[in-house]
């Protein structure tokens, strides 16, 4: 006989199991780790990126924003790995712990407070965990927090290892101690030159002990070779005892400071004397502030986790006040040489702009500070105004390897930069910024397009010989996206002049009105003059509906979507194409198709064990921040209906997928508004 109480118990157990099985909205956990199929996840603070490793007490690499030198691939400036300042080792009872010795290995990324925790058992002797942070409040400083629980009496020998990447040269290692009545500070420091000697890179670390001064372990320094040295201590633990210690360190280069060697040590001393608890309190507080701007999905825990992960990565790879921009791979490694493309201005910038305008300002300030280089680039190509490079690094000169035709010919980047500048003003309504920085960008880029077009009569101010946004189309004429983006650039420059009370060049509107947007016989927007239905690498003509808004007729948008969505191969193309399809279908009121392309934009690109996004389906180069930016726009501007207009952010009609009960977007724009869609 089935009693009511028993039935209730079964229902409760089932509910508990179901709840437990749901993805955590804030934590991504890897309980089964296969080192041969492992794609690391990044903990970053907009300046330092730390990439995880499956091997205990190791990190894969450390990347610093803004640190470039010319070496290796392409004879152009490349991102540099910095000193690996968080590698460690641990010996228990005289035996060095290795991956083969551990069991129950688990790693967890906390998206809310940007920490990466590893836990494992070491036989019957100890349970060990360590967590590292790229401290949000201190741009050049990191922290690793270690906890050891002794299962029996053990003797520890713990080391902090400083290792120089192979590309660095003239490595010098230092160790010194600063003694004060209340503290002893042990500093493990290294400095080196970048491959050409252009930069000096420096890093320093120190232990943080919980013991009162005079009772902390004695630290010993060991020099192994020129590229690696370490400091270590010993400690005996009783069965059941828990022991905590931490390592804090700073990494900085001459690109960031005139005296990086001393500054690395000063910053490390500062962190050491702040102490672990204060460091983590301020770090968590900074992330709590960032997450006041959030995307909240009800009814779909996996999408919620994925969207939080994408937001986390964009927040991690950027910071306000830095004047640094975003590479397609952010701070997750050396992908794309750390260069800045249209990926920033069109794909990643808009999501940051609506949620954190103060962060977006750094990205557009990066462009403004390189405006003079863009002017020189235009001059070299026989044009007026400013011509931004397809690939940009530290100086703002063209950094595209010469074998890629996008360097000399992918000119739409100039209009992409201008669109970002105009949109920054539109969201913030900051006329002082528009006058000081926005206007120089908008006016100089407009001058470029006035000189770039070939004037072949009314309606035929043509833009010939470009690489299209669809990069498989090289050296073509009248590319849809290039032409439309140029028109928008010229119109926005004219609008900015009116706002500022400046007389606009009347030629700008004349040119804008005469740039052609070509069509096929069936009325579909023609990607370029020679296009005959070939496969396309990525969205091009469809971008005229969003973000350019040159095409606004729903029927035209639908026809263009239905034509070009069938021209994108299923492999080898970047993730953001399907994202813009999802955005447009959501705005057209077709949530089924929007949902299909939303899922298709990233799920086939996910890699184990942390669901990091590769650039393409089946690709292996995470983390693709460009794709994350596009997918976030499909939620914010597609399903959520947010729209950037000259007078600010508004919400337009759109439809949620059936899989979502509601969508709430918090902390939007300068007034930090919330928007809901049910």
Q: Which residues are catalytic?
A: 471, 615
> CB neighbours of 277 closer than 8 A, spacing ≥ 6?
none
Question: What is Dmax (Cα atoms) for the chain?
Answer: 91
Q: Containing H/E element for 667? A: strand 662-668
Helix then strand then coil, % of the chain, to nearest 5: 35, 25, 35
Q: Within a 10 A sphere around the Cβ of 222, how many other Cβ atoms?
A: 12
Tokens representing residue 610 in the block: 């942390």
Tokens representing residue 31 in the block: 């309980």
DSSP state of 23: P
Tokens representing residue 99 in the block: 């991956």
End-to-end Cα distance, the chain: 44
Nearest to 516 by CA among 506, 508, 526, 501: 526
* Cα separation, 52 vs 44, whole angstroms: 11
Peptide bond into 559 cis (omega under 30): no
> CB neighbours of 635 closer than 8 A, spacing ≥ 6?
295, 307, 598, 663
What does DSSP say about strands 169-180 and 228-237: parallel, antiparallel, or unpaired? Answer: unpaired
* Cα separation, 43 vs 448, whole angstroms: 40
DSSP state of 476: B
Q: Within a 10 A sphere around the Cβ of 557, how many other Cβ atoms?
A: 20
> CB neighbours of 6 closer than 8 A, spacing ≥ 6?
none
DSSP notation for 595-662:
HHHHHHTTGGGEETTTTEEPSSTT------HHHHHHHHHIIIIIIS-EEEETTEEEE------TT-SE
Look at residue 47 and give its three-state secondary structure.
Answer: coil
Peptide bond into 304 cis (omega under 30): no
* Cα separation, 464 vs 475, whole angstroms: 8
In the block, residue with structure tokens 């074998």:
403
Q: What is the dihedral of CA 209, 210, 215, 219, to 10 degrees?
A: -10
Q: For every residue of 383-399, which 3-state class applies, written as one string?
A: CCCCCCCCCECCCCCCC
Spell 175-187 as b/e; 16+ CB within 10 A means b.
beeeeeeeebbbb
* Cα separation, 596 vs 155, whole angstroms: 56
| CA angle (311 as vertex; 368, 536 as ends), nearest 5 | 75
Residue 626 CB burial class (10 angstroms; 0-12, 13-18, ≥19): buried
Nearest to 425 by CA among 343, 515, 509, 353: 353
């Amino acid at each position: 006989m089935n009693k009511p109480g028993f039935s209730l118990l079964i229902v409760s157990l089932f509910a508990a199991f179901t709840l437990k099985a749901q993805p955590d909205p804030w934590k991504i956990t890897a309980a089964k780790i296969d080192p041969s199929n492992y794609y690391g996840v990044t903990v970053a603070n907009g300046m330092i990126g730390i990439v995880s490793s499956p091997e205990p007490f190791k990190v894969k690499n450390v990347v610093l924003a803004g640190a470039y030198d010319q070496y290796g691939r392409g004879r152009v400036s490349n991102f540099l790995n910095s000193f690996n300042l968080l590698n460690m080792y641990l010996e228990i009872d005289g035996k060095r712990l290795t991956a083969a010795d551990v069991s129950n290995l688990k790693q967890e990324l906390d998206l809310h407070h940007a920490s990466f925790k590893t836990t494992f058992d070491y036989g019957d002797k100890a349970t060990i965990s360590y967590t590292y942070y790229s401290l949000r409040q201190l741009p050049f400083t990191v922290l690793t927090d270690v906890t050891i629980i002794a299962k029996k009496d053990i003797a520890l020998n713990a080391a902090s290892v400083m290792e120089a990447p192979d590309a660095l040269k003239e490595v010098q290692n230092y160790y010194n101690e600063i003694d004060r009545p209340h503290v002893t500070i042990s500093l493990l420091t290294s400095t080196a030159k970048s491959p050409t000697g252009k930069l000096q890179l420096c890093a320093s670390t120190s232990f943080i002990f919980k013991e009162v001064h005079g009772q902390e372990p004695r630290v010993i320094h060991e020099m192994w070779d020129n590229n690696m040295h370490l400091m270590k201590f010993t400690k005996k633990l009783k069965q059941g005892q828990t022991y905590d210690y931490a390592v804090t360190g700073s990494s900085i280069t001459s690109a960031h400071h005139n005296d990086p060697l001393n500054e690395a040590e000063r910053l490390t001393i500062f962190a050491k004397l702040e102490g672990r608890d204060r460091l983590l309190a301020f770090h968590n507080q900074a992330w709590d502030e960032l997450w006041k701007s959030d995307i909240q999905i009800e009814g779909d825990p996996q999408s919620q986790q994925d969207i939080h992960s994408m937001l986390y990565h964009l927040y991690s790879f950027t910071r306000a006040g830095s004047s640094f921009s975003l590479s397609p791979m952010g701070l997750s490694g050396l992908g794309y040489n750390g260069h800045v493309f249209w990926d920033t201005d069109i794909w990643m910038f808009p999501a940051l702009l609506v949620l954190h305008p103060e962060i977006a300002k750094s990205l557009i300030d990066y462009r403004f500070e390189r405006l003079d280089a863009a002017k020189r680039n235009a001059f070299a190509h026989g044009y007026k105004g400013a011509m931004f490079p397809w690939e940009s690094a530290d100086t703002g000169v063209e950094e595209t390897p010469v074998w890629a035709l996008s360097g000399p010919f992918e000119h739409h980047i100039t209009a992409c930069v201008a669109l970002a500048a105009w949109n920054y003003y539109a969201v913030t309504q900051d006329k002082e910024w528009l006058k000081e920085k926005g206007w120089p960008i908008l006016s100089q880029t407009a001058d470029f397009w006035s000189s770039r077009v070939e004037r072949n009569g009314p309606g035929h101010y043509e833009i010939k010989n470009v690489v299209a946004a669809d990069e498989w189309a090289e050296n073509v004429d009248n590319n849809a996206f290039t032409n439309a983006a140029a028109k928008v650039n010229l119109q926005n420059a004219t609008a900015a002049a009116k706002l500022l009370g400046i007389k606009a060049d009347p030629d700008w509107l004349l040119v804008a009105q005469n740039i052609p947007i070509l069509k096929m016989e069936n009325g579909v927007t023609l990607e370029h003059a020679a296009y005959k239905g070939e496969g396309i690498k990525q969205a091009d003509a469809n971008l005229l509906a969003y973000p350019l808004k040159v095409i606004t007729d729903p029927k035209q948008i639908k026809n263009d979507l239905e034509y070009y969505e069938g021209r994108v191969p299923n492999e080898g193309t970047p993730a953001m194409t399907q994202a813009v399809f999802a955005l447009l279908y959501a705005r057209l009121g077709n949530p089924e198709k929007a949902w299909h392309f939303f899922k298709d934009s990233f799920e086939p690109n996910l890699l184990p064990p942390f669901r990091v996004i590769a650039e393409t389906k089946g690709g292996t180069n995470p983390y693709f921040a460009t794709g994350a930016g596009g997918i976030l726009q499909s939620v914010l501007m597609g399903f959520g209906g947010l729209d950037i207009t000259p007078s600010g952010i508004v919400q337009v009609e759109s439809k949620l997928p059936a899989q979502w009960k509601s969508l709430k977007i918090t902390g939007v724009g300068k007034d930090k508004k919330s928007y809901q869609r049910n």
